[in-house]
Chain A
Amino acid sequence: MVFSSISFLYYFLPIVLILYFLVPKKAKNFVLFIASITFYFYGEKAYTVIMLAQILLAYISGILIDKYKGTKQAKTVMSVAVMLCLGVLGYFKYTNFLILNINNLLKTSISILEVMLPIGISFYTFQIISYIVDVYRGKAEVQKSFLKLATYVSLFPQLIAGPIVRYVDVERELTNRKITLEGVSSGVTRFTIGLGKKVLLANSLAKLCDIFKLSDEKSVLFFWIYGIACTLYVYLDFSGYSDMAIGIGRMLGFNFLENFNYPFISKSITEFWRRWHMSLGSWFRDYVYIPLGGNRVSKLKFIRNILVVWGLTGLWHGADWNFILWGLMFGVLLLLEKLVLKKYLEKLPAIFSNLYVMLIIVISFVIFNSNGMEEVVFYLSGMFGGLDVPVINNTTMYYLRSYIVTIVIAIIASTPLIKNAVIRLKEKRRINKIINVLEPIFVVCLLIATTSYLVDDSFNPFLYFRF
């Protein structure tokens, strides 16, 4: 099920909220668990069993690790459990990629598997691993209640497109959480803003990207509009989803960590990755990069560590070479910045360093949004004048005019401009009162507007479901 659908907004959500608020505190986790399983089953049918099996694996291994604490057995249990989780992920996500490459390389003809990727498996597998490893490391208490652990892993707000919530971050709230008026209200606002970002902006930009891809009337400018549109689209789609997840979490009494912090205002690629998909970046840091030795090793090993982490980050996003290239490109850039560019970037005026970042980000998202390497070459050639297309044509001008307002709003929505302005204005008590009147009106209007778009358009899948 997707958040930006009538069936979620006007059937699933109201039913769950009513039940959740009505039942006594003790039964709330049970309601959430049943709701989450229903939510997952609605889209993934029998794959729900795989998720439940992995939760059971996490539950049992957690108890065993706790039992053998400090002994070798604990490490064995932890390793086996993590391997099993990665094995399931690998089977569903990477087997066909592997087969295709083997076929290509050795000219064999192994037939590919008829499996679909269960939605959200990349996210919940990482959550389960964080639990198992943290229990092993003694950072988290073992969870003795299967219901609580299952509620944590399957929690529907973040189940299918993140953020990757660590067990330690919600450990306390699983047992004891407060549902406050302030929490629910801010959750509602956050959710609605995320919904608007997704439905009013991201979907529209995705449509522009599709129009471009199918168009016979391409031009250099159109290639660049595409690059900018797909960059904004990926951000608004994904951060909109995180906003919705965090918003629903707050309505339910959970406080998830932020996943994005206005990445497009960054002045270096290093900074960009501290602001983009933060829950994934910190996961790789804590469970891959640091165990490999991080940067407290020889320079050569440090370079290896960076490239391993970024190759894996790329591969996590999708089983194809363009994703690996995308990840490695960031690895190389981060190394470059760390070893060479850092001192120059710091001296550059902010606008230039931001332009440098955005240029790379746009190129990177064109790579990211391609289907395989052939498309990567095609789009990048188009952007840099390597194709026989005009610089500009009528079709390009039409779509530029038709989408310019959306693009400008999307750019503003990708910066903290409005948020900062509101915070500053709220400092004055009189203006704060006015904003308090405007905010509910804004929320309701946004909800109605998104509803009108959802009613007009039934097909509306999320980008991040591929992962």
Chain B
Amino acid sequence: MSDKFKNIIITVSFMACVVGGFLINIIIKDEKISESERRKLTQFPNASLASIMDGNFMTNFNDYSVDQFILRDEFRSLKSLIEFNILGKKDNNNLYIVNDAIYKMEENFNYNEIKKAADKFNKIYEEYLTGMNVYYSLIPEKTYYLSDKGIYTSIDYDKIADIMNSNIKNMKYIDIYDCLNEDSYYRTDTHWKQEALAAVVNKISENMNFKEYLKSNYTTKTIDDFYGVYYGQLALSLLPDKITYYTNSVIDESAVYNYETQKYAEVYDLTKLSSMDKYDMFLSGATPLLRIENPNCTTGKKLIVFRDSYASSLIPFFVEAYEEIMVIDIRYMPSSMLKDYIEFSNQDVLFLYSTLVLGNSSILR
């Protein structure tokens, strides 16, 4: 190729890229949401004299231009590929793959947050739970079980348990660390799989003395194509997970009252399968307060669970033993409001939290 021809090619292809990119971006219709990142995408900002003068328009336009860029997902995949395969990075956006499963590194984990979480739980105990049977349990993230850690570092999950144990007062610790393993979690998601929870159910029900009430058998059903939260963040194509869920007539006939929507739903909310996160089918996803009513129950027992999203797939196994289970997520409601909804008397109480949430305990209200 002659120098002149090369100059023409470079000039033309660069102009084609930037001018073409510009034109296509203004022609192509904007998307409302990103399925893979599970979030709303920034829309074209309102232009007013005020928003331009204070710079809001420009800030929002920058976000808009990035969010609505053509082939956004494909470009994000390309970046992921370059990071791993050309620059030899060991993680992309703190995610890495081992044996086809995606793991997340907790960068700069703050152990002080664990102490704060314990303090928070103690405060709730003093406010509402004095004298009641209160238990707590911790769910480590799947990196804890990664046998083939290689070079990857993970946070010290035993230290987290130690901090909790030495700070929490008046509650009994149920250690479920041994009840799980590498395969207990979805490959593309942070959560544990319902089909892997038998040992957890055993351990907790034994410690809380309700094992004798769990008698029924279950049938399983399977949902295909579950793309977990890590899948979209990593932006590489991996095989999706399957969601297997356990059900029986007791669960089917129980009803879940949602205080936020003021509606009843089923324990397995299959309408959520069309939402961005299929895991939301377990107790309808993130919500402040639920009441699970089991009309077939004659034990007279009631349970209160303080929890995060991991509990959503575990709690269905407890339904048979309890007439009523109050499911509380104090990330979405201040604990000071609980007295308006719950009469605390002789219920069993369980705090069930993932180390993921405890490490950001400032979100607990």
Contact = CB atoms under 8 A, between A and B. Distances in A.
A405 interface: yes
Interface string B41-79: 000000000000111001001110111010010011011
A216 interface: yes
A398 B90 contact: yes
Given A6-B69, A443-B13, A401 B18 contact: no
Chain A's interface: helix, strand, loop or mixed, by majority? helix
Interface stretch (B19-27, B200-208, B286-294, B328-336): B19-27
Interface in A10-26: 10-11, 13-15, 17-18
A43 interface: yes
Given A9-B18, A185-B7, A453-B79, A402 B90 contact: yes
B89 interface: yes
A189 B87 CA distance: 22
Nearest to A180: B7
B1 interface: yes
A432 B1 CA distance: 8
B17 A447 contact: yes
B69 A455 contact: yes
Contact of A7 (B9, B13, B62, B152): B62
Say which size band chain A's interface belongs to: 35 or more
Contact of B69 (A10, A15, A18, A406): A10
A200 to B, nearest CB: 8
B152 A455 contact: no
B66 A398 contact: no
B72 A455 contact: yes
A217 B106 CA distance: 13
Chain B CB within 10 Å, residue with most, of A10, A192, A432: A10
Chain A CB within 10 Å, residue with most, of B9, B10, B88, B107: B10
A401 B151 contact: yes
B296 interface: no
B75 to A, nearest CB: 4
B11 A406 contact: no
A455 B66 contact: yes
Interface in B72-115: 72, 75-76, 78-80, 82, 86-91, 93, 107-108
B89 A437 contact: no
Nearest to A449: B82
Contacts of B69: 6, 10, 451, 455
B18 A17 contact: yes
A18 B78 contact: no
B5 A45 contact: no
A277 B53 CA distance: 34
A444 interface: yes
Interface in A185-213: 185-186, 188-189, 192, 200, 204, 211
Contacts of A456: 75-76, 79-80, 93, 235
A124 B22 CA distance: 30
B62 A458 contact: yes
Contact of B18 (A7, A10, A403): A10
A395 interface: yes
A404 interface: yes
Contact of B11 (A13, A184, A432, A436): A184
B153 interface: yes
B87 A45 contact: no
Interface string A403-415: 1111001000000
A433 B1 contact: yes
B78 to A, nearest CB: 4
A443 B10 contact: yes
B220 interface: no
B75 A452 contact: yes
Given A13-B18, A403-B89, A398 B152 contact: yes
A300 interface: no
Given A10-B21, A216-B108, A452-B78, A439 B6 contact: yes
A55 to B, nearest CB: 21
Interface residues of B, number: 51
Given A10-B18, A452-B75, A406 B87 contact: yes
Interface string A376-418: 0000000000000000001101100111111001000000000
A444 B17 CA distance: 8
Chain B CB within 10 Å, residue with most, of A181, A189, A440: A440
B78 A182 contact: no
Contacts of A403: 89
Contact of A444 (B5, B13, B53, B66): B13
Nearest to A43: B58
A168 B290 CA distance: 74
A282 interface: no
A439 B63 contact: no
A433 B3 CA distance: 8
Contact of B75 (A45, A189, A451): A451
A115 to B, nearest CB: 16
Nearest to A439: B6
A188 B107 contact: no
A265 to B, nearest CB: 24
Interface string A447-465: 1110111111010000000
A97 interface: no
Contacts of B65: 5-7, 10-11
B107 A452 contact: no
Nearest to B54: A45
A76 interface: no
Interface string B17-39: 11101100100000000000000
A462 to B, nearest CB: 14
A73 interface: no
Given A7-B61, A458-B62, A185 B10 contact: yes
B337 interface: no
B14 interface: yes
B14 A18 contact: no
A449 B82 CA distance: 8
B342 interface: no
A217 to B, nearest CB: 8
Contacts of A15: 22
Contacts of B13: 440, 443-444
Nearest to B93: A456
Contacts of A433: 1-2
Interface of B: 1-11, 13-15, 17-19, 21-22, 25, 53-55, 58, 61-63, 65-67, 69, 72, 75-76, 78-80, 82, 86-91, 93, 107-108, 151-153, 235
Given A406-B89, A440-B9, 17 more contacts: A6-B69, A7-B65, A11-B22, A13-B18, A45-B53, A185-B7, A185-B10, A189-B10, A214-B108, A397-B151, A402-B88, A405-B87, A440-B6, A448-B17, A452-B78, A452-B82, A456-B235
26 contacts: A9-B21, A10-B21, A10-B25, A10-B69, A14-B15, A15-B22, A17-B19, A18-B19, A43-B55, A43-B58, A45-B53, A185-B7, A185-B11, A211-B107, A394-B153, A402-B91, A403-B89, A405-B87, A405-B89, A433-B1, A443-B14, A447-B17, A452-B78, A453-B82, A455-B76, A456-B79
Top 6 A-B pairs, shortest CB-CB distance = A185-B7, A405-B88, A436-B1, A436-B6, A402-B90, A452-B79
